[in-house]
Amino acid sequence: MSFERRTKAVFFFKPLGLREHILGLGEKAYPIERKRTRCVMWNTDSYGYGWESDPLYVSIPFFISVNKDAKGFFVNSCSKLTFDIGVGEYDRIVVSSPEDWMEVYIFEGPRISDVVERFCELVGKPFLPPKWFFGHQISRYSYFPQNTVLELVEEHKKEGIPVDVLYLDIDYMDGYRLFTWDKSRFPDPKSLVQKLHQMGVKVVTILDPGIKLDQNYEVFKKFLGFYVENCDSTIYTGRVWPGMCVFPDFFNPKARELWSKTVEEWVREYDLDGVWLDMNEPSVFNESKSFSEDAVHTLGNGKKVSHVFVHNAYALYEAMATFEGVKRVKEGFVLTRSGYAGIQRFAAVWSGDNTSSWENMRLQLPLLLSLSLSGVPFVGCDVGGFIGRSDPELVARFYEMCCLLPLFRNHKDKKANDQEAYNLPSKYKEMVKRAISLRLSLLPYIYSLAYQASKRGHPVIRPLAYEFQDDENCYQINDEYMLGPSLLVAPILEKGAQKREVYLPRGTWLDWWTEDEQQGEAWVTATQELPLFLRKGSILPTEQKIVVYGSSSFLLYQDKEVELRSEENALYSSQPLEASVEFKKANAKRAKVDENVVGCENGKIEKVRFTRIILL
């Protein structure tokens, strides 16, 4: 490895081996294997992006090199970095920065999981979202008026489709002014939120950074003295949804505190459950799509810095201030479109304005899995696709692909068809309902993985290579993922397909639906609606039971930690636990539960309280 300073740039060089794999780099529209790509770190409003669109909304200048052992590299710069992974020079990685210095952190493995864990030790461990975050979420640009919002939830419930979270997009505002309501559309927002809560639905409202330039607008006056500036100390302005806007300088601690207080008041007054941050790349309606590079920010020590050097961190500091404001009122939740390394401390991330196409659906998995490898475990995409018209089969397959992602939200543009699940033809509606039901049944496992992520940074969804680092085939698999260490998910992503080829890595696998065993390092044909395979050596808690398949250990979290450990014919709990238990591929007729002997059928034990179960 070496560094070189040239005129107005610094370069970092690293050798690139022929069999070396490169993973990570955050949100990029490329396959999981980043070798032979060139990409730019510059948060950009990328409406309607597709494969190889670059840059996108989130910049995380961190990559993982796997050459037998894994090693991580983090270039800590918020400016416009370029990563050339063996394109310009076949045998080298070249990273360039427009600054006159470069700070690089190196993380030793040997496993990919070790690298991710150490990276999160540096940039910050993820926040733990509230449990309701992991339910079924719905959104639209935009749902209104007030009565229609309530009817919308009722229509879902009539069809037996649960709704756990509802988002309100910018049309709830008065002329797109932040922290206001359009009283013609939402005459009584407090009553609306109260009624939705009574229906079991949480409410999240959108906020953009652009504050309307209007001297009669109280929020505009409130932030005077704390806006992004021009070089001559006048206020920087740019056009966004409300018209001409000004922008809080989130690099200024006083501006962040004022924003936190304003968010706190907003959430408290209307009993809201979270905040959704959009347009925070930052996005402006101009040729460059963002602030002028010579716009000026004020840091905590009073130092002035040009926007070009801190661009990618604007959303990070906005999320920090927003999260602080929300958590002063209730269990904090923030969803953001943009971010930088460490964004996981404050927010979940969705992949922005995707399109309703089969090709774009196939892009979402490598994109989200790479974000997960980059320290951001709570990720998702707009289910069904945001832009364009979505056919019912596509929506159903989107639901299947996404039903085990951390964020599970259907979101749609206003200039497209209605893709709420209750609007689908019966065949596809039932597919969606089954996907939602599967997710809800696995919430104990998913929430435990989320808890583990908050403690150590390990992703909830993982590329196969994360679990099977020594299996070369796994680096080329972009249409499967692991949910935690135990469950392989292989959604059908081709129009009209009724089956697919699935790669099973080394080991023994159990078809989740048929319970047929398969030996790994092999391709198999799966004919199930959503192919799932359970890895031998797993403990997987569901709403109905704890599934045991071979010898393993698992940290269950249900408001407290419970350590589970299994052997082929035994399960141990660190403290008394009440549950049904099923040992897969066991033929026992009896079991010893602590000191009592009970009957069981093929390793299935109905609800018991135990610290130890041994099959007899």
Tokens standing for 173? 């505002």
Backbone angles phi, psi at 495, to 5 degrees: -60, 130
Query: Would residue 281 show up in a list of annotated catalytic residues for this protein?
Result: yes
Instruction: Mark whether 278 is an active-site residue.
Output: yes
In the DSSP assignment, the letter for residue 210 is P
- Find all residues with CB under 8 Å of 144, minimum gap 6, and list them: 168, 171, 172, 182, 185, 186
Residues 165, 212: Cα–Cα separation, whole Å? 28
Closest by CA position to 126, among listed 328, 282, 345: 345
DSSP 236-277: P-EEETTEEEE-B-TTSHHHHHHHHHHHHHHHHHHT--EEEE
Residue 222 class from Cβ within 10 Å (0-12 exposed, 13-18 middle, 19+ buried)?
middle
The pair of structure tokens assigned to 1 is 């490895």
Cβ–Cβ < 8 Å for 315, 282: yes
Given the residues 353, 413, 420, 511, the one annotated as active site: 353
Q: Of 478, 489, 421, whose CA–CA distance to 449 is shortest? A: 489
Tokens 């300073």 locate to 5
Residue in the structure block whose two tokens are 């018991």: 608
Residue 420 CA, distance from chain mean position: 21
Which residue out of 278, 479, 511, 582 is catalytically annotated? Answer: 278
- Given the residues 33, 208, 281, 511, select the one marked as catalytic: 281
Question: d(Cα 134, Cα 29) in Å, to the nearest integer?
Answer: 25
SS3 at position 555: strand
| C-alpha closest to that of 385 among 393, 395, 376, 375 | 395
- In one-letter notation, the amino acid at residue 92 is R
Phi, psi of 207 (to 5 degrees): -140, 135
Residue 161 has, within 13 A of its CA and on its CB side, a CA count of: 25
- Spatial neighbors of 515 by CB under 8 A, at least 6 apart, are 584, 585
In 87-237, which residue ranges form alpha helices assigned H by DSSP?
112-123, 146-158, 189-198, 218-222
Active site residue 418: no
Query: Rounded to whole angstroms, how far apart are CA atoms 182 and 9?
Result: 49
User: Which residues are within 8 A (CB) of 307 and not within 5 positions of it... i.e. 6 or more apart?
Assistant: 228, 291, 292, 293, 294, 295, 296, 297
192/148 Cα distance (integer angstroms): 11
**Residues 6 or more apart in contact with residue 437 via CB below 8 angstroms:** none
Nearest alpha-carbon partner for 513 in 440, 434, 591, 597: 434
SS3 content of the chain, % helix, strand, coil (to 5): 25, 30, 45
Q: Which residues are catalytic?
A: 278, 281, 353
